[in-house]
Structure 1
Amino acid sequence: MSIHSLKRDQTNLAWDNSIPPVIHIASGDTVTFDCLDASNGQLTADSTKDTVGTINLSLFDQVNGPVYVRGATPGDTLQVDVLSIETGDWGWTAVIPGFGLLADEYTEPALKIWKIDQSKGFTWFDEARGMKIPLRPFAGEMGVAPGKSGAFSTIPPYCTGGNIDTRHVTVGSTLYLPIEAEGALFSIGDGHAAQGDGEVCGTAIETPMKVTVRLTVRKDKPYTKTPHFSCTSAAAPEGIDYYCTTGVNSDIKEATRAAVRNMVEYLTNEYNLDKVEAYMLCSVAGDLRMHEVVDMPNYVVGMMMPKSVLGH
């Protein structure tokens, strides 16, 4: 196994299988990425709400990469083990006019600057009132290049990943991405110190980050058609270990249907259930969650299955 690294300026603003890879690695190698925050450095710890009105949104959500993984071919799955994340000592949350689930109701810019000390395990929302946010850092952007030709914005999520903004894919979690392009062409970015499911105002606690992942080509998961993930032990929400399938679609109902359909596919492949059994198991034990609802045009809905139900 080899260890590689990418610098802050080795970034792109599109998912595009024609972008030359920054590095070539072997399956199973580890890569460390040094990432700016989602504003691409336009916001700093000294910014004010007036700065929000001057930012260039076309520069947002840059991703570091791409990384070419040798042996990765279309139809394979890329396993992404999240090994470590180090946030910056500050972060920001903004209300950006025209962006967010309630954009029509919140039309004025707003900005909150956070002080982050990972050793404390939380950051203050309002210290005087005793309101604090547990730190749970993760990368909002993790994806591989699409098989289709052309440049695709990094703002929405896709079936190949991208801006999935799924808070459960933190240290100790494993993400599985369907490979559509030779070499997978993996990229990552959009550091978050914490986020609620949905990221409803459009931003989390955005922060620079250094993140280390191990990238492994899997030939035995051909049913992976959208991002799947496994979160265990401390990485799992509510202390429950989960395997999750997702649905990604511009129609929230269709995204939800796809999440369930993909879990049925997983259960029939991995646990030898028939489709009716798997469908019933989803109904009695699976948890549907809205992971991402603001990065138009697509939503990310997850079907999270407790591993304890599956005999883990």
Structure 2
Amino acid sequence: MAHTFHISKSERHLKWDNSLPPVATVPSGSTLTFDLLDGGHNQFTASSTDADILTFNLSLADPAHGPIYVESAEPGDVLKIEFVDLRPARYGWTAIFPGSVGFGLLHDEFPEHKLQIWDLETHRQDGYTVFKEGIHVPVNPFLGVVGLAREEAGEWSTIPPYETGGNIDCKHITVGSVLYLPVKVKGALFSCGDGHAAQGDGEVCGTAIETPMNVTVRLTVEKGMQWVESPHYITSHEHTANLVRGGGKGEYAALGIDADLREASRKALRGLINWLVAEKRLTREESYILCSVAADLKIVEAVDMPHFGVACSLPLGVFVGPPYI
């Protein structure tokens, strides 16, 4: 018999901790629905402005909803997570936080704060949101935080990713995708959160299109998958089609070359921002935000030492009208 459980936005935590009592105990194969706060703990609303960044409480970031105890899950097993439905709220936000906060690949080069509010309702059926007139960003909902409790005792931040998942921020794990996570504690203790309406690979300014989200997932315990020692996933056909739709006009990319992989990534991002400013007449802050929600970092060279090659590429399909085409 199929079982369905609902988890409210009040059932959340801010640290991974295998001693947390579960908010629900479910059999393997159960479907769960979640009402999720956004990655900023709903501190921004559709009417927020740049000034609201100054009162943002970073200690509330990346709430995870749960944990869920899955019956029959034992250390050494794998939890299979199927993403059935991901429904963003009517609005979202992207922020450049002041440089001292440390978010963003170029945080030291962007000392001023900026908040972008996105309308996620008007063009929901069309599958995009408007960055500004002439620039559309395809909507591709996914969860930034999907994870299980760690084996180690104590409290662990929800901000970084771990071998057991967490804040993996992988835009490819969307509706129809399947994620596999290694179980380290009895019951697995599954939690999720941090809904995103869109993001580029790298989330380079530190935030995606952050949004509250209604979520439906199915949790199943898998035995005998010893090769899964970190998050593994299978993408959906629909996700592949969405990528083609967003990039059907090709890409513009800048390459960063450096002996340090992070510095090569910074150079690539800086190059793409410079192109957006020079050719598309966007501001540096607008360019940084657009790169975070729509551009992808890719390792294109990792064997010809001592240098790495990293590309930062933007689908030209985001430019849909004057003055950008």
TM, length-normalised to structure 1: 0.76
Aligned partners of 2:50, 2:207: CA distance in 1, in Å?
Answer: 14
* Aligned-partner SS, 1:37: coil
Deviations 1:138-182 (A, max 9, x none): 010000000110010000000100000000000000000011011
Task: Report the residue type matching 1:47 in the other structure.
Answer: S
Q: Does 1:122 align with 2:128?
A: yes
Q: Does 1:192 align with 2:196?
A: yes
Counterpart residue number, 1:302: none
Counterpart residue number, 2:23: 22
Q: What is the CA RMSD across the aligned residues, in angstroms?
A: 1.6
Shift of 1:232: 2.3
Q: Does 1:137 align with 2:141?
A: yes
Counterpart residue number, 2:186: 182
Deviations 1:26-51 (A, max 9, x none): 00000001001111111111111111
Task: Report the residue type matching 1:141 in the other structure.
Answer: V
Task: Report the residue type matching 1:11 in the other structure.
Answer: R
Counterpart residue number, 1:167: 171
Aligned partners of 1:11, 1:101: CA distance in 2, in Å?
Answer: 28
Aligned partners of 1:139, 1:46: CA distance in 2, in Å?
Answer: 23
Counterpart residue number, 1:35: 36
Which of 217, 220, 230 aligns to 1:216? It is 220
Aligned partners of 1:164, 1:252: CA distance in 2, in Å?
Answer: 19
Task: Report the residue type matching 2:65 in the other structure.
Answer: N
Counterpart residue number, 1:63: 64
Deviations 1:66-103 (A, max 9, x none): 00000000111000000001110000000012211101
TM, length-normalised to structure 2: 0.73
Aligned partners of 1:183, 1:252: CA distance in 2, in Å?
Answer: 37
Shift of 1:119: 1.7
Structure 1: which 5+ residue stretches go unaligned?
240-250, 254-287, 291-312
Counterpart residue number, 1:303: none
* Aligned-partner SS, 2:59: helix
Aligned partners of 1:252, 1:181: CA distance in 2, in Å?
Answer: 34
* Aligned-partner SS, 1:177: strand
Aligned partners of 2:239, 2:27: CA distance in 1, in Å?
Answer: 27
Shift of 1:238: 4.4
* Aligned-partner SS, 2:19: coil
Equivalent residues in 2 for 1:190-269 (5 A)?
190-236=194-240, 238=243
Shift of 1:289: 4.9
Aligned partners of 1:221, 1:289: CA distance in 2, in Å?
Answer: 29
* Aligned-partner SS, 1:104: helix
Deviations 1:202-242 (A, max 9, x none): 00000000110000000021111110000021123746xxx
Deviations 1:273-299 (A, max 9, x none): xxxxxxxxxxxxxxx957xxxxxxxxx
Say whether the 8 Å CA contact 2:174–2:236 is kept in structure 1.
Answer: no
Counterpart residue number, 1:245: none
Corresponding residue pairs, total: 243
Task: Report the residue type matching 2:60 in the other structure.
Answer: L
Task: Report the residue type matching 2:131 in the other structure.
Answer: F
* Aligned-partner SS, 2:86: strand
* Aligned-partner SS, 2:52: helix
Counterpart residue number, 1:45: 46
Counterpart residue number, 1:3: 4
Counterpart residue number, 1:295: none
Instruction: Indicate how the Cα distance of structure 1 residues 100 and 134 shifts in structure 2: closer, same or farther if over 3 A, else same.
Output: same
Q: Does 1:146 align with 2:150?
A: yes
Query: Which of structures 1 and 2 has the bigger CA Rg?
Result: 2
* Aligned-partner SS, 1:67: strand
Aligned partners of 2:168, 2:57: CA distance in 1, in Å?
Answer: 22
